[in-house]
Amino acid sequence: MSIFAAAFGFGLVSMSVIAIAAVGFTMQFGITNMINLAYGQVMISSAYVAYYINRAGITIWVGMIAGAFFGAAFSFLLNRLVYAPFQRKGTSYLGMVIVSLAVSLMIANLLLPIVGYFSVSYSEHAGSLVRLGDIVLTNNQIAIIALSVAVMLGIHALLRYTRLGKAMRATAANPTLARNCGIPTQRVIDMVWLITGALCGLAGVVAALNSDSFVISSGAGFLITALAAAVLGGAGQPYGAMIGAVIIGLVTELSAAAWSPEYKEVVAFGILVLVMVLRPQGLLAKRGALAAAG
Amino acid sequence: MKTFHARMRFGSAACSLAVLMLAACGGGSSGGGLGSGDLLVGVLAPFSGADAGLGPAYYAACLAAAPAINNNGGVGGRQVKCQQFDTRGEPADAAPAASAMVAGNSNLMAVVGCTSDEASAVAPIVDKAHIPMFCMTGQSEFNKTNLKYFHRLVPADIYDAYAMVGWALYGPSPAPFHKAALVFGNDIGSQAFVDPATNAFTKLGGQVKNFPITLGASDYRTEVTQVIAYKPDVIFTEALGSAGTFLGEYKTLNGGTVTPFIGTSATIDPQWFKQVSDAIGVDNLVKNYGGVDLGYTFSGPAYTEFQTNLNAAAAQFADAPKYKQRGSTLHLYDGIIMSALAMVATNSHDPTVYNSKIKEIANGVSGATVVHTYKEGVDALKANKSIKFEGAGGANSFDDHNNSVAGYVLVKYDATGGEVKVQELTPDQTAKISQAGGI
């Protein structure tokens, strides 16, 4: 068995999980101008919602839909009740980052007494193994890859071929001009929080399913990888986040196979640093979907 | 009359002097007397972050120990309280937390917790403040520590490592094993198991390879694939918090079967059991798991009182009763009670006075009365007897560096998560492994 082929297969799964999270995160930033550091906590909260549904004997695939709905509602309310009032008061960009960090800590500490300190697992059979040469994947992992591809195509279609997508791009490019042109930017922003929140919730459940067990502190890890992929691809650029996810997902697993697993994250973040040095704006900063609508 | 007045003056002066002396004894800075006001036990441990599961077990120990003391007169009437100080499992957060704890609480009687995550950072701070501490770290740097206020009621990790090697070589069938994969976190605390286990196992004819993993990662599939490719007949592991993920993926990628695995004493834990049984199934866990432990009896008057108080602590901390068979909870409970008894024995609230008494109470001196509870201890002290405390976690034996070492037993889990003793390592076997390990 080639360890590299196997690692490539695992990399495909990792990048699929990261892509869903990173695209949601970067769209949120690109359109609402908000670096939401509570994103990882919303992900893990959604994962727990799915866990409780799954524990009631309902399949995790239903739990996944519920997690996406929960993520959407939670993110929408988070913006309406916390972020938007601060933004209306003219809180600085850095101030909003600190607010989101505070929200993140509050969610984590509120969750702790509810869900407990310990790892939990979905009671969902991983499914039989599928072998493609030396690549070995479970049915669940193949479903995750397929789901991720479908979500990416859906996001592409939304941004390119729908009125809402065009309105989002216009709002991202210049909210004042968009408003003056008759685009209901507030409603667009609400929709963005709902959509990206749904992606966030979906990503949380998918990440938890991909990991055989998860714990409340997993949220911080989810955020770091999503953030890394988003920054690598160019902050605010959904297609860039997709590319960032591919690089982070594959490099971590392949470097683990080639070198040592304990340094796989070092290698991935080393590449991130290198890209930031050579191209600070990220890989797709000027050609992304949320660049000026045209 | 003159004589009468002279006697009165002398009497007044003597009374005044006596009052002054008593006042000085009662609460002065000299350390004499037990003082007044509440006493505080600082639970300095991770309550958030990747190791957030550790702190609650220690907090539960304190919540159980406090009523054992308070309901029996307190420490000279002083009530014991417990307070959490969150280290987040990170030295960078732990050092300021320890400094703030020490600076802000002049009534600290003991500190419990300080895991391998933060012990190196916080132990010197607590020691400098002259507060007795009971640390749950297995790090070898404390094997010969010079910190006078440091106490360790669990063996160093090297002994856990040797006991695991003992399981692999001398345990019941399917042992003996010959090819081991070591799967521990890549942090300094977890890797402390690796060298002693490698030395001992290879010198006794085994083959071994280390597969360090990053604890808390979302998946370990590449690492698992590498371990499977190595084809071990046994896995030594701890991987707290990540064992479920690792072993679940191992089972999936290994065609649904799990290689026998031997866990450290920290894996004898209800949460670890739940996490791993959720991931690989109870049957697989019961069949393939072997663990090493310190031979707790979970019975006797000390344990009964511990369990009663732990159940009562549920009113303050709902999860407390879950820790009824957790070694660290038992030991820290004992540590707090020994500290209180040391204060009573020395009639001092000054740690520089009562600290050394803790070791004497734990080890006992010749002719000491064995006591199992705080009440028994206080009664014996009042009767001017010297005491040896054998608490819920059993007898202790501190060495010159305040490390308490006890013997190991080999255990398994039953289907409900209960611990089942399967064998005891003989002194010869233990000596052979220790010699091979080079310690």
pLDDT in tens, B254-265: 988 999 999 998
Q: Which helix (H) or strand (E) holds B240?
A: none
* Local structure of B269: helix, strand or coil: coil
How many helices (H) and strands (E) chain B has is answered by: 16, 14
Q: How far is A153 from chain B (nearest CA, A)?
A: 25
Q: What is the C-alpha to C-alpha distance for residues A34 and B55, in angstroms, rounded to an integer?
A: 35
* Distance in angstroms (rounded) separating the CA atoms of residues A139 and A121: 17
Phi-psi region of B402 (alpha: psi -120 to 50; beta: other; left: phi over 0): left
Closest-approach residue (CA) in chain B for A121: B278
| ipTM of the modeled complex | 0.75
Q: Which two tokens stand for residue B296?
A: 């707790």
Residue partners of A149: CB distance under 8 A and separation at least 6: A16
Enter the tokens of residue B149.
């206020």
Residue B50 predicted with pLDDT over 80: no
Q: Is the pTM of this model over 0.80?
A: no
Q: Is the pLDDT of residue B181 over 60?
A: yes
Q: Do B222 and A216 touch (CB under 8 A)?
A: no
Architecture of domain B157-293+408-437: 3-Layer(aba) Sandwich (3.40)
Question: What is the per-residue pLDDT for B11?
Answer: 43
Query: CA of A251: which chain B residue's CA is closest?
Result: B222
* B186, B213, B219: residue with CB nearest A211: B219
Domain spans, chain B = 39-155+298-389, 157-293+408-437
CB contact under 8 A, B279 and A14: no
| Chain A residue numbers touching B253 (CB-CB < 8 A) | 129, 136
Please name every residue paired with B413 in a beta bridge, in sequence order, or none if there are none: B419
Among chain B, residues having any CB pair with chain A shorter than 8 Å are 48-50, 52-53, 56, 186, 211-214, 216-223, 225-226, 229, 241, 244-245, 247-249, 252-253, 255, 271, 274-275, 278-279, 319
Residue A237 distance to chain B (closest CA, Å): 25
Chain B hits for A218, CB-CB cut-off 8 Å, are: 216, 218
Which residues of chain A have a Cβ shorter than 8 Å from any chain B Cβ?
1, 3, 6-7, 10, 13-14, 17, 108-109, 112, 116-121, 123, 126, 129, 136, 138, 207, 210-218, 221-222, 225, 253, 256-257, 260-262, 264-265
- Domain B39-155+298-389 grouped into CATH 3.40.50.300: no
Cα B113 to Cα B59, B158, B175, B396, distances in angstroms: 8, 20, 35, 18
Q: Is the peptide bond before B176 cis (omega within 30 degrees of 0)?
A: yes
Q: What percent of chain B has pLDDT over 70?
A: 92
Contacts of A118 by beta carbon, 8 Å cutoff, 6+ apart? A215, B53, B271, B274, B275
Q: What is the mean pLDDT of residues B283-294?
A: 93
The token pair that represents B203 in the structure block: 């010198």
- Provide the pLDDT for residue A285: 66
Over 80: is that where the pLDDT of B90 sits?
Answer: yes
Which strand (E) or helix (H) includes residue B207? strand B207-210
> pLDDT at position B397, please?
84
* B40 HSE (CA, 13 A, CB side): 14
What's the rounded mean pLDDT across residues B112-140? 93
At B124, the pLDDT band (50, 70, 90 cuts) reads very high
Judge: B48–A109 Cβ closer than 8 Å, yes or no.
yes
Tokens of B348: 């001092």
Look at B222 and A253 and tell me if their CB atoms are within 8 Å.
yes
Sole residue written with tokens 């996810």: A245
Tell whether A288 is covered by a domain. no
Name which of A171-180, B27-36, B188-197, B400-409 the model is least confident about.
B27-36
Among candidates B219, B241, B279 on the partner chain, residue whose Cβ is nearest the Cβ of A210: B219
Which chain A residues are closer than 8 Å to B212 by Cβ? 260-262
Nearest residue on chain B to A265, judged by CA atoms?
B214
Q: Between chains, do A121 and B216 touch, taking CB under 8 Å as contact?
A: no
- Cα–Cα separations (whole angstroms), residue B303 to A93, A182, B373: 57, 74, 9
Retrieve residue B172's tokens. Answer: 């019941």
CA end-to-end span of chain B: 80
- pLDDT at position B7, please? 46
B405 pLDDT higher than 60: yes
Give the pLDDT of residue B164: 95
- Give me the torsion for CA of B360, B362, B364, B369, rounded to 10°: 120
Regions of chain A where pLDDT drops below 70: 1, 125-127, 285-294
Provide, as residue numbers in chain B, all residues whose Cβ is less than 8 Å from the Cβ of A264.
214, 222
Identical fold, B39-155+298-389 and B157-293+408-437? yes
Instruction: Give the C-alpha separation, A51 to A57, whole Å.
Output: 10
Would you tell me how many other CB atoms lie within 10 Å of the CB of residue B20?
10
A274: CATH? 1.10.3470
Model pLDDT, residue A102: 95
**A171 found inside a domain:** yes
What are the pLDDT digits (tens) for A263-290?
777 887 888 888 888 888 888 765 545 5
B394: left (phi over 0), alpha (psi -120 to 50) or beta: left
The chain-wide mean pLDDT, for chain B, equals 88
Chain B residues in contact with A120 by the CB 8 A cut-off are: 275, 278
**Could you tell me which residue, A261 or B142, shows the higher pLDDT?**
B142
* Cβ <8 Å between A118 and B271: yes
The pLDDT value recorded for residue B158 is 83
Q: How many domains does chain A have?
A: 1
In the predicted structure, residue B419 carries a pLDDT above the cut 90: no
Yes or no, beta carbons of B225 and A7 under 8 Å apart: yes
B354-397 pLDDT tens trace: 999 999 999 999 999 999 999 999 999 999 999 999 999 988 88
Cis omega (within 30 of 0) for bond into B270: no
Predicted pLDDT at B10: 45
- Indicate whether B296 pLDDT > 90: no
- Domain containing A115 equals 3-278
Instruction: Give B304 or B265, the one with higher predicted confidence.
Output: B304
Per-residue pLDDT tens for B3-36? 444 444 444 444 444 434 433 443 333 446 899 9
